[in-house]
Amino acid sequence: MEGWYCVKEQKRCVGWVETYFKDCLCNLRDDMSFGFGLVSLLCWGLAEIPQIVTNFRTKSSHGVSLLFLLTWVAGDVFNLVGCLLEPATLPTQLYTALLYTVNTIVLVLQSVYYDYVTKCCIDRKAKSDHTGEEEKTPLKGNKGVGYVGIPIPKASPKPTPRREFYYTSARSLAGSDTPPFRAFLRLPKSGPSALGNDSSSSDDESDTAAVFSHSAVTQPRPIPRSVGYGTFLAASANLPFQTKGFSDGFSGRKLLQEHSSHSGFGQLLGWLMAAIYMGGRLPQIWLNIKRGSVEGLNPLMFVFALIANATYVASIVVRSTEWESIKANMPWLLDAVVCVLLDLFIILQYIYYRRFRRQRQSGGGRDEFKDYEEATKHATL
């Protein structure tokens, strides 16, 4: 294969970079830019793995906003389509895009499975258990001294033909010592919400029934989120981190930037993608505020994303500071810069809520959070 050539420096491009990354490194700036690009690629490859592991270990994904993940998927899908349609797409772009799209889809599937499918099954089981209980639990004749008002399933030694004796209604319960069904079958909130740290107390949480047992009090359970996230349409195009135009001898693909960033359509796609990606962080920030907690969230995802976006910006501006180049890359640059700031905010939220929670615990006599952590440990082993 005919090698590429750096005209100004009068030397050949770096061979392996040329072969595997279709980029040409002529000087120190190019080397640095390429290095930043590699770090960005690596960080995107790793970013979502810690959260996937956290979700898997806790068998829940209530710490991450599903809407946030969906905006990532939407942006990524358009990005991938753009990559496939665009002949100038660099191999690294395509692999990175594929990698984080797959990772994000795994996160979304986990979210749907743990927080919706599993919850649905628990609800159904609790309901059927309760129906069975209702039929078998007598309302009267059970109120001896020390009666705590909790119906004991199958407490009746032998069935009785008097059906009304077993009938339970809200009114009859209200008149009895027995707390209404939901009062004691309420799903124990997990983590801080179980300790009253959760300011959200979302309605769907309180509606959730679970099988009541002693262990359920200390076992962490997923905090369900409200459903109804909309589907987002987004278009995105990716900027190659190699933004340098090649010198004579470059006979293969042209750089994507030359194709799309200068075209009105490419720019439009870029701005749409930027809006979607930037807006995607807001549901996550809001979820943290609403819960007053970051339990279930792995901060490493945002640390890696922050580094990935920062090095992505660095790889572009180190390569060229010419206004023309910056202007053409504006949507991608702005997206990355804003995402860095938003990720920083989320990391600060994480630190704040962790500290805040610890302080609250140390204030109380009994360390309930320790109990919770213990329970989590046991639950995840």
Residue from 246, 219, 213, 295 nearest 88 by CA: 246
State which residue, 76 or 205, has the beta carbon closest to ligand ARG. Answer: 76
Tokens 């790889």 sit on residue: 315
Residue 44 CB, nearest approach to ligand ARG (Å):
6
Q: Which residues of the chain form contacts with ligand ARG (CB under 6 A)?
A: 44, 47, 72, 76, 100, 104, 277, 305, 309, 335-336, 339
Residue 77 CB, nearest approach to ligand ARG (Å):
10
Residue 42 CB, nearest approach to ligand ARG (Å):
13
Q: Alpha-carbon torsion 48, 50, 52, 55, what sign?
A: negative
For residue 178, give every residue at least 6 positions away whose Cβ sits within 8 Å of its Cβ, in sequence order, or none.
139, 149, 150, 151
What H or E segment, with its residue span, contains residue 313?
Answer: helix 299-319
Q: Alpha-carbon torsion 165, 171, 174, 180, what sign?
A: positive
Q: How far apart are the first and last CA of the chain?
A: 54
State which residue, 36 or 372, has the beta carbon closest to ligand ARG. Answer: 36
State both tokens at 40: 């960005």
Residue 45 CB, nearest approach to ligand ARG (Å):
10
Residue 177 CB, nearest approach to ligand ARG (Å):
54
State which residue, 97 or 139, has the beta carbon closest to ligand ARG. Answer: 97
Residue 81 CB, nearest approach to ligand ARG (Å):
14
Residue 69 CB, nearest approach to ligand ARG (Å):
8
State which residue, 181 or 304, has the beta carbon closest to ligand ARG. Answer: 304
Q: What's the 3-state SS for 262-308?
A: CCHHHHHHHHHHHHHHHHHHHHHHHHHHHHCCCCCCCHHHHHHHHHH
Side chain identity at residue 75, one-letter code: G
DSSP letter for 9, please.
T
* CA 118 – CA 109 distance, rounded (Å): 12
Residue 320 CB, nearest approach to ligand ARG (Å):
20
79 burial via Cβ count (<10 Å: 0-12, 13-18, 19+)? buried
* CA 12 – CA 21 distance, rounded (Å): 15
State which residue, 187 or 275, has the beta carbon closest to ligand ARG. Answer: 275
State both tokens at 68: 């946030």
State which residue, 185 or 306, has the beta carbon closest to ligand ARG. Answer: 306
State which residue, 276 or 294, has the beta carbon closest to ligand ARG. Answer: 276
State which residue, 198 or 335, has the beta carbon closest to ligand ARG. Answer: 335
SS3 of residue 227 by DSSP: coil
State which residue, 189 or 281, has the beta carbon closest to ligand ARG. Answer: 281
Residue 67 CB, nearest approach to ligand ARG (Å):
13
What H or E segment, with its residue span, contains residue 11?
Answer: strand 11-12
